[in-house]
Structure 1
Amino acid sequence: MATKMNGVRGLSTAVAAGLGLVTGALAGLAVQRRALDVLRVRLEQLEEQVAHTDHHSNLASQQHLHWELLSKAIDSPELAEVLDIFEVPASQQKRRQYLFANALYTNLLFYYRIGNLSREEFFGRVRGLLQNPVVKEYWFATQGQRATLPEDSDEADLGRMVDALLRQLDEADVEEWWVVGEPPVE
């Protein structure tokens, strides 16, 4: 009988040891699985950051090219005629001023797109720009161009915001222009 018990105990010990090994292996696999999940999430985050950085780089390159083209047109009346797409006829001087107003507005637009300006900051800067009569004229002279923007685009949305602000500034009966209009909610 003693021999039988030793065999059963030996078998129980072997089964317990086997279960221990299996449990340890499963625990190890669970730890590896969690580590792989963490690595996968981190890899996805890095891929998003790279895409975001590429997007910002592309926007910066586009802004640089835009400025180069506008600079050439501002410096050359012949080239500026190519960009004369305003609602009303403009003299050479006025066309150059409109092109520069376009450069200022586009700069703010790019700053907003890359995240250097919040929507509220964009609103405040545009409110300041609209204090200049040439910028106001430019805005009205280009309303047809903005009408062609896709309705759901950021640029169209910001354009509508500027239109509303311009109406509020025109209707305001205060000299403190910097308090006119409600900054947009982010």
Structure 2
Amino acid sequence: MVKLDKIYTRGGDQGETSLGNGARVAKSSARIAALGEVDEANAAIGLARLEGAGPIDAILARIQNDLFDLGADLCTPIREDEAPGAALRIVPAQVAWLEARIDAVTAELAPLTSFILPAGSAGAARLHFARTVARRAERAVVALLEIPDEPVNRLVLAYLNRLSDLLFVLARAANGMGGADTLWVPAASRHG
């Protein structure tokens, strides 16, 4: 259980912060950058939830909670001798849940005939924005994975990859199940 009785600690005033294992790292580190991108993705999903209740909101609520799990995973580097369950980690079932949602929503969507623009209803536009932020978080995790001696649970990357896919199909669902998508028209404005 987390207990926060004081919001400021002054511990980061010198440009460092603590990881879940107690290690101090620079706030500019790749791990902290990845955590920040995940936090921003979660906030963007919170904005998408402004559209109200319903099946999409229930999916997004679960994702927001999972993103806190994912942040906890990222902030605690994996140890070689780590026992199963010793740290909160993203697990295959969380990735599979996203895949099941993608498949279920996609089955209801109008077929894609072109790339679509990130537009349409307010809800769809917010979901598209959240999708782009999730992709940025994914790229930050890839950058972290490329650093030697920075152990990361690879399921974090899989989760973020599926998350952006799910946000894409949810945006289409918010656009009348794809019926109100704004299609890309290649070279539409080349001739004045």
Query: Shorter-normalised TM-score: what interval?
Result: under 0.3
Name which structure has the greater RCO, CA cutoff 8 Å, separation 6+.
2
TM-score by length of 1: 0.25
Question: Counting helix residues as a fraction of each chain, which structure ranks higher?
Answer: 1
TM-score by length of 2: 0.25
Larger radius of gyration: 1
Question: Counting strand residues as a fraction of each chain, which structure ranks higher?
Answer: 2
